[in-house]
Amino acid sequence: MSISWQTTLKKINFEEVTLESFKGKVIMVVNVASSCGFTPQYKELEDLYKKYQDQGFVILAFPCNQFGGQEPKTESEIQSFCELNFGVSFPLFAKINVNGSDAHPLFTELKDSLPGVLGTKAIKWNFTKFLIGKEGQPLARYSSTTKPSEIEKDILKALKN
Show the 3-state SS of 90-101: CCEECCECCCCC
Check if 36 is active-site: yes
Quick one: CA torsion of 63, 98, 17, 129, rounded to 10 degrees? 70
Long-range (24+ apart) CB contacts under 8 A made by 17-22 are 19/106, 19/136, 22/58, 22/60
3-state secondary structure of 76: helix
Q: Which of 12, 36, 60, 106 is catalytic?
A: 36
Cα(157)–Cα(94) distance, rounded to whole angstroms? 30
Closest CA to 59 of 22, 27, 88, 35: 27
3-state secondary structure of 135: coil
Active site residues: 36
